[in-house]
Amino acid sequence: MPYENNFIGVGNLAKRPELKYSGSGKAYAKFTIAISKGKDDQKKTMWLDCTCFGGWAESLANNEKGHVFVKGELEQQNWEKEGQKRSKICLVCQVAWVLDPRKSEKSDYVKPEDIPVDDLSDSIPF
């Protein structure tokens, strides 16, 4: 039986994405989205840490808030802190598209159709 690791969702940017560049000069952005369900006192929110690459990272980094469509693979990260093993589930995005951009004053929003298609086929740069 084949297995599929594919996540698609829409959430709110929790804060401004952190744009960085790898040693080879490839852009990547780390960000967190909030995905909520329910209303009022029944409302539950899940926080999901995400990473995207290339043109998607550069476009996303221009935004401080907004709804974000994400698509990618879930990945478990493990570490140890003060002798305790810890883990969390993160999303490695193939697509991270801001649906209602609220950009900062010092940068321009890049439309998804303006992002070169070859950026989508790159593997993780590190």
Torsion of Cα atoms, 25 then 91 then 106 then 66, to 10°:
160
- Please list the residues that pair with 12 across neighbouring strands: 34, 67
- Can you name the CATH fold of 7-108? OB fold (Dihydrolipoamide Acetyltransferase, E2P) (2.40.50)
Residue-wise pLDDT for 38-97, tens only, equals: 888 899 999 999 999 999 999 888 888 889 999 999 999 999 999 999 999 999 999 999
pLDDT of residue 120: 47
Domain ranges (residues) in the chain: 7-108
**pTM for the model:** 0.74
